[in-house]
Amino acid sequence: MGQSRMTRWLAAGLLSSLGGCASFPSPAAEESETSSEGDVGSVLGTILLYLPNRVFDLVEIVRVGANVGPGIGVDAEVTQWVRAGTMSRTTVGLGYQGLRRMPLSASSENYIALGPLAADATAGPSWYRGPGDVRAEVHALLVGVHAAVDVWGIFDFVVGLAGFDPEEDDFAW
């Protein structure tokens, strides 16, 4: 009896989750399908924004920054999956984080990380970390520095030359 009850609950859960899979086109999607003028505008926009989008992709590959405030720690990362580090600091920082991200940091960070796992207690905006970063960071007493190269960003730039945008960060018309 208990097993058939569980089977019914599982079946009900599966059916109710499948009910949410139906999708209906939005009015904007229907309008764009029937209008060829929108296609001309988006093609023109893509052409006009090609060069600015490639420049943004290129200049966001490398990021650097410096922090000031009490702290100690080291952190090394080769993508989000291979990482070793520990850090304890309360700092403010200034750096180059690309054109789409804030160049400031003001945070209190305490963490330990090994591989893809991390125990992290951070308050305030800290430096951006991309999933494809090759990154090194050190903080000794009152000064800390970091540098990162975004491997995924390199890929995004290279395939962007052919018109693809895997990061979906290009400006659109």
The pLDDT score that the predictor gives to residue 166 is 92
- 157 vs 15 pLDDT, higher one: 157
Q: Is this prediction's pTM over 0.85? A: no
SS3 of residue 26 by DSSP: coil
Average pLDDT value over all residues in the chain: 83
Q: Do the beta carbons of residue 71 and residue 89 sit within 8 Å?
A: yes
Check residues 68 and 40 and name the one with the higher pLDDT: 68
Distance CA 5, CA 129 (A): 47
According to DSSP, residue 150 is labeled E
The better pLDDT of the pair 41, 6 is held by: 41
- Residue by residue, DSSP assigns 68-84 as EEEEEEEEEEETTTEEE
Query: 74-113, pLDDT tens digit by residue?
Result: 999 999 999 999 999 999 999 999 988 999 999 999 999 9
Average pLDDT on 34-55 reads 78
pLDDT of residue 4: 53
Identify any residues that bridge with 135 across adjacent strands, giving them in sequence order: 77, 148
pLDDT for residue 5: 54
Residue 12 has pLDDT above 80, yes or no: no
